[in-house]
């Protein structure tokens, strides 16, 4: 959300929010951020659109982790 933001900006904002707070990271929940992305509406959340992590997202990520672990194991055994 906002002018000039890119993937690196979002990653930095989420990482910073995770590092500085134990609160859940949800992004900006207000629709007002869509009208004026330069407004910092909730300072405890990164300046990104609200997002939801589903059980399916978690399952897919767990599968990716298992695949990478298997590749690493195979590489170490070679």
pLDDT of residue 11: 84
| Cβ(45)–Cβ(25) below 8 Å | yes
Domain ranges of the chain: 7-77
Q: Compute CA 50 distance to the chain's CA centroid, rounded to the nearest angstrom.
A: 10
- The owner of tokens 């399952």 is 59
Q: How is residue 41 written in tokens? A: 């509406």
How far from 28 is each of 6, 18, 50, 66, CA to CA, in Å? 16, 15, 5, 32
Per-residue pLDDT of the chain (78 residues; tens, 9 = 90+): 666 677 887 788 888 888 888 888 888 777 776 677 666 677 777 777 777 889 999 999 999 999 999 999 999 998
pLDDT of residue 34: 67
pLDDT of residue 9: 79
What gap in Å lies between CA 76 and CA 78, rounded to an integer?
A: 6
| Global pTM value | 0.52
């Amino acid at each position: 959300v906002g002018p000039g933001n890119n993937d690196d900006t979002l990653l930095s904002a989420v990482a910073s929010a995770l590092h500085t707070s134990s609160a859940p990271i949800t992004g900006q929940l207000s629709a007002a951020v869509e009208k004026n992305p330069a407004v910092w509406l909730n300072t405890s959340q990164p300046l990104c659109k609200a997002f939801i992590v589903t059980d399916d997202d978690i399952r897919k990520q767990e599968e990716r982790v298992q695949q990478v672990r298997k590749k690493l194991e195979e590489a170490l055994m070679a």
